[in-house]
Structure 1
Amino acid sequence: MKGVSHVSDVDAADDAGPRDVPDAVSLLYRSQHRRLVGLAALLVDDRATAEDVVQDAFVGLCRNWRRLRDPAAATGYLNRAVVNGGRDRLRRGRASATGRLRMVPRPEGRASAEHDAVERDVQDRLWRAVTRLPLRQRQVLVLRYYLDQTEAEIADILQVSHGSVKRHASRGLEALARSWEAAS
């Protein structure tokens, strides 16, 4: 994955025997937890639900550790588990649409209170537009532009074809553009 250094953590788990599984998962937890909660929060729009989804993903990893053919694939397993868990939560209606999450981190230095208010309004409008997208389009755009995943990586995480990723990204961006133009 781009921007995430997880290989060294997973390499430490390559020789993991039954008693070493908690150590390997612990290393992954320390290196991936925050990123995965951010991913889940963008998908379900609720921090508490996002944390539950990530916790479930790590529990599933512990349960299925011995079935992993390649321990280096654990991060991919976690990505898929978080995306699928978020989708399941949304389908069951357990995530709330609070609109309180921020897609763009707040910069350290602020220009003015007025600038912050305008910036917050723009971010809120963008996030509302993203949350109105169909689930698959939202997943593809979040994975692509928040996690900086390639189309091939997204296809692997979502277990869809490369063409499907391109189609959902294109349709999602078109829908966002229409929504943005209509709101302006």
Structure 2
Amino acid sequence: MTYEEFADSRLAALLRYAVMLTGDPHLAQDLVQETMVRVQLNWRRVDRADSPERYVRRMLTNQFVDWRRGSWVRRVLLRAEPEELAVPTDHAQTTADRDQLWSQLARLPRRQRAALVLRYYEDLPDAEIAEVLGCAVGTVRSAISRALATLRAELVEAC
């Protein structure tokens, strides 16, 4: 497989994953662009990996974790984009709930947030999440457990 074939087939999925990590479609585009530049520069190594997609997802996750350490990213406000709903509901409440969730996710430590996204958005098992994050399976379970406990506590506190 060539770099171009890989980029054509996986770019949209990587962008969706990055949006879930960052909470901002524009920042996600920047993250994917920078990651894909690195992928292209190291394509021979990526292509030799057992699963190039997993390798690139790990690169993207690591890039996200490193980016969040920069001071300019901390100034980005996370806001959800309203999406079309099939059933008429209270749009103001739906948007407020979505914004609250993005805000709570943004306050989680980077690895916990990445673990939640990989589990509940990417639907990956613990072993693959551990591989992407470069840690043990037990660490993944602990990170997810702590993240969910934090979100639950904030939800109870808000009510």
Query: Is TM (by shorter chain) over 0.5?
Result: yes
Greater radius of gyration (CA): 1
TM-score (norm 2): 0.88
**Aligned CA-pair RMSD:** 1.9
d(CA) in 2 for partners of 1:58 and 1:134?
A: 24
Give, in angstroms, the shift of residue 109 of structure 1. 2.2
d(CA) in 2 for partners of 1:69 and 1:48?
A: 28
Identify if the C-alpha distance between structure 1 residues 94 and 149 changes in structure 2 by more than 3 Å, giving closer, same or farther: farther
Identify if the C-alpha distance between structure 1 residues 39 and 94 changes in structure 2 by more than 3 Å, giving closer, same or farther: farther
d(CA) in 2 for partners of 1:92 and 1:66?
A: 29
| Unpaired segments ≥5 residues, structure 1 | 1-12, 14-23
d(CA) in 2 for partners of 1:49 and 1:70?
A: 29
1:75 corresponds to which residue?
A: 53
8 Å contact 2:80–2:95 — kept in the other structure?
no
Using the aligned pairs only, state the percent identity. 32
1:57 equivalent in alignment to 2:35: yes
1:111 corresponds to which residue?
A: 88
d(CA) in 2 for partners of 1:66 and 1:37?
A: 22
- Within 5 A, what are the aligned runs for 1:1-184? 13=1, 24-68=2-46, 70=48, 73-95=51-73, 96-102=75-81, 106-112=83-89, 115-184=90-159
Identify if the C-alpha distance between structure 1 residues 109 and 45 changes in structure 2 by more than 3 Å, giving closer, same or farther: closer
1:8 corresponds to which residue?
A: none
Give, in angstroms, the shift of residue 80 of structure 1. 0.8
TM-score (norm 1): 0.77
**How many residues end up aligned between the 2 structures?**
158
d(CA) in 1 for partners of 2:116 and 2:46?
A: 28
Give, in angstroms, the shift of residue 66 of structure 1. 1.9
